[in-house]
């Protein structure tokens, strides 16, 4: 299990968290775990590229006719 320390939490947020935890019958630590779990579970498990593609899919696909490669791909070389 990992440990997370949150510093610099303002008094208003701390108080709202304490009230929310009490409303759910949990400790503040358990409430934070539940909030993080719910928030992160709601996010899609896809990568950034997949999310960008899905976001702009409604604009109509743009198919590009790319020329064939004349040589195989190679790693970039950066000279100083």
Does residue 70 belong to any structural domain of this protein?
no
pLDDT value at 71 more than 80: yes
How many other C-beta atoms lie within 10 A of the C-beta of residue 33?
A: 13
Does residue 17 belong to any structural domain of this protein?
yes
Does residue 23 belong to any structural domain of this protein?
yes
Does residue 28 belong to any structural domain of this protein?
yes
Does residue 20 belong to any structural domain of this protein?
yes
pLDDT value at 61 more than 90: no
pTM of the entire predicted model: 0.54
Domain residues for the domain of 41 are: 1-45
pLDDT digits (tens, 9 = 90+) for 5-54: 999 999 999 999 999 999 999 999 999 999 999 988 877 677 888 888 88
Does residue 53 belong to any structural domain of this protein?
no
Does residue 65 belong to any structural domain of this protein?
no
Mean pLDDT score of the chain = 88
Let me know if 32 is exposed, middle or buried by CB neighbors in 10 A (0-12, 13-18, 19+): middle
Domain total in the chain: 1
């Amino acid at each position: 299990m990992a440990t997370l320390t949150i510093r610099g939490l303002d008094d208003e947020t701390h108080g709202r968290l304490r009230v929310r935890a009490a409303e759910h019958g949990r400790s503040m630590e358990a409430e934070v775990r539940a909030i993080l779990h719910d928030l992160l579970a709601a996010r899609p498990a896809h990568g950034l590229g997949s999310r960008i593609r899905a976001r702009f899919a409604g604009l109509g696909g743009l198919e590009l006719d790319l020329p064939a490669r004349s040589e195989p791909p190679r790693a970039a070389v950066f000279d100083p």
